[in-house]
A and B are shown apart, each in its own frame.
Chain A
Amino acid sequence: MKLKNTLLALAITAVSSTTALAEIKIGVSLALTGPGSGLGIPMQNQFKLFPQTIAGEKVSLIVLDDATDPGKGAANARRFVTEDKVDLIIGSCITAVAAAMTDIAAEASTAQLAGSPVGVPAGKDKWLFRLPQSNTVMGYAMVEHMKKQGVKTVGFLGYTDAYGEQWLKEVTPLMDKAGIKIIATERFARTDTSVTPQALKLVSANPDAMLVVASGSGAAMPQLGLLERGFKGKIYQTHAAATMDLMRVGGKAVDGTFVSAGPVIVPDQLPDSHPSKKIAMDFVAKYDKVYGAGSHNQFAGHAYDAQVALEKAVPLALKKAKPGTPEFRTALRDAFETMGSTQFAHGIMNWTKDDHWGYTMETAVMLKVVDGKFKVE
């Protein structure tokens, strides 16, 4: 009797453990609280719509909050690789936090799909793939637009953290090549309530255009600060501000702003020949159906692209190894590099062995705020 029970228990454990081994575990670290929650919560909403299976294998997502804190992000990454033994890490949506997770993911030979345009020292990104376009790609479209508008001098007002710093670093050489000079640089913190002194200094330098580097609804305050000080020139915002929150908080005052964005913001306005139009409209339809019309944004689009990438890469990796093994993680990483040109909602992605950024210079779309709505320029 006792022996039969023991044998039965052993049999059940054996069966259930093999089914557990066969599932693909993905660890997701997002900023669900803290100043970056405006980016993390839409991504989490999209991950809630993630499919249960990919290529016949069950997929389980473990979503953790990193509270916009690099320390917590690193702790999450460590937990993913040591306790949960995930096959893939997705995170974070905040540049500084994703940078903290990179070393840990690389040490554990686990691929990391970052939801932010995180730059690392050369050679350190063997396991790191970025979902968003690099600031260089976004900046390229912006600088081309500035050239066409005849802008010669620019004032920079950006976050004091990694996002602002990286934009400044990446957009300066692009502007130099186009003959545009950055004549004033001011910084402010995400949690600041006013930028009057910084705006004063910038407006008195009198550039042709201002570049505001901020994200979500926090992008409205610096722009309003500049307008309050009487700035009459062109204002450019980055892709992290490509959400309806900019207009909701800024009101009529932000009409006429130029925003660089991925194709997902207003896919219905893209020409039919645009390669990402169909998949972007598909994403918008699915997201808005669950969360309300017009609620889709840049960040949820990146989460959707993670799904697209996995749907293409996982079958390739499964040919070489089973999930839960180090060979599978290596195979998944190789699959990302070799799967070739893929249609993402955000453009055409092409990760190669040498290039883990992937998007081409033509990906970004310049939008203009007209009557409280985005219009493709």
Chain B
Amino acid sequence: MDFSIASILLLDGVTNGAVYALLGLATVLVFTVTRVIFIPQGEFVTYGALTLAMMQTGKTPGTVWLLLILASVASVMELADRWRHDGNVGRAVMAGLRTLASPLAIALLSIWAASQQLPLWVQAALSAAIVSAFGPLIYRVAYQSLEAATPLVLLIVSVGVHFAMTGLGLLFFGAEGFRNPAFWDQRFALGPVTLGGQAVIIFGVSLALILLLWLYFEKTLRGKALRATAVNRTGARLMGISTHTSGQFTFLMAAFIGGLSGLLIGPTTTVFYDSGFLIGLKGFVAAVIAGLSSYPGALIGALFVGVVESFGAFWASAFKEVIVFTLILPILLVRSLSSGHSDEDH
């Protein structure tokens, strides 16, 4: 193991770690606001990468049809709920249509754009938009009625959503994998390592996103409202903060981060319909290292996971996954011994 090999491994580990950091951040974000351990975060990554891949081949991506179906289901649920709640048909229909509006617009735009062979970054932006639209709809359909449930129930629902999304992914994308073209083909030589342009973009986007999230939660009123919902749901409702909107907005952000990660890793690896699960799970390990509560912790945890994975694969490639996931055990042990019992069961 000389310096050049160590530096190549370190760079590879940190690049992977940056993507895991994005997913870890999204996991922590969703958990702190809604108490949902969002296992299907990885599926957003897959959908993002594969939607762009399908658009590149000139076909309408299957995610668009899935989006339309999901939007219809969500708007019918919204309509029924409002009707039962208010008794007023007109207002209920308006609510249903509001839910349907933006997903429908995005879907129609994508169907038109798929055949146009637009430039890469336009298609990437569209893919991110399609995947982001999934977030609030999934929250509406799967989680909104269970807002008061314990994290365990929400975790079980998450597993169900994961299986549904993976199965639908197989249906819409097929069993074979895709690779996207790189956004930036440049290669920079830094001593013994070559830094690819794609890696630079990954680092840049990760840092920018972390900064934006920090600014949002610290400086804006809405961000503080979301944090309030995380601390005490009833108290926030008393203050006029709608838990429905908080949940949907959080999922919108998580889906956007997931889709963005998918666009970032698409060029560096072959993405299959089921690749998202393992990537999301490593992001979850990073979030666990952060105690599912701190963003800088998730970043550090993710970089740690990436580097350990890289060096572990070099020394014992057959046991790479074992090494990465066994990491959770000592960390959980240390955390549960050092922190007291948290009073979150209200």
Contacts and interface: CB of A to CB of B under 8 A. Distances in A.
Interface stretch (A74-82, A217-225, A314-322, A364-372): A217-225
B184 to A, nearest CB: 16
Contact of B177 (A196, A197, A217): A217
Interface string A237-249: 0000000010011
B317 A221 contact: no
A220 B12 CA distance: 19
Contacts of B12: 194, 196-197
Among B16, B175, B310, B318, chain A packs the most CB atoms within 10 A around the CB of B175
A218 B310 contact: no
A200 B176 contact: no
B167 interface: yes
Contacts of B320: 188-189, 192
Nearest to A219: B270
Contact of A218 (B268, B272, B313): B272
A38 interface: yes
Contacts of B278: 191, 193
A33 B171 CA distance: 10
Interface in B266-299: 268-272, 274-275, 277-279
Contacts, number: 92
A44 B328 CA distance: 40
Interface in A180-217: 186-189, 191-198, 200-201, 204, 216-217
B313 A198 contact: yes
A227 interface: no
Interface in A338-363: none
A197 B1 CA distance: 12
A171 interface: no
B321 A33 contact: no
B178 interface: yes
Nearest to A193: B269
A114 B65 CA distance: 37
A198 B9 CA distance: 10
A34 interface: yes
Interface residues of B, number: 33
Among B16, B174, B176, B278, chain A packs the most CB atoms within 10 A around the CB of B176
B272 A197 contact: no
The secondary structure that dominates the B interface is helix
Contact of A160 (B8, B279, B310, B318): B318
A63 interface: no
Size band of the A side of the interface? 20 to 34
A35 interface: yes
A46 interface: no
Interface in B6-48: 8-9, 12, 16
Contacts of B314: 197-198, 200-201
A64 B12 CA distance: 41
B265 interface: yes
A193 B275 contact: yes
A41 interface: yes
A110 interface: no
Nearest to A31: B175
B179 A196 contact: no
Contacts of B268: 193-194
A245 B269 CA distance: 15
Interface in B233-273: 265, 268-272
A29 interface: no
A254 to B, nearest CB: 12
Contacts of A186: 317
A188 B274 CA distance: 16
Contacts of A196: 8-9, 12, 310, 313
A92 interface: no
A318 B320 CA distance: 53
Interface string A33-55: 11101101100000000000000
Interface string A251-279: 10000000000000000000000000000
B311 interface: yes
16 contacts: A33-B175, A34-B274, A35-B272, A38-B176, A41-B174, A160-B318, A191-B274, A191-B275, A191-B277, A193-B16, A197-B9, A197-B311, A197-B312, A200-B5, A200-B314, A220-B270
Given A193-B278, A196-B8, A217-B178, 4 more contacts: A193-B16, A198-B313, A201-B314, A245-B177
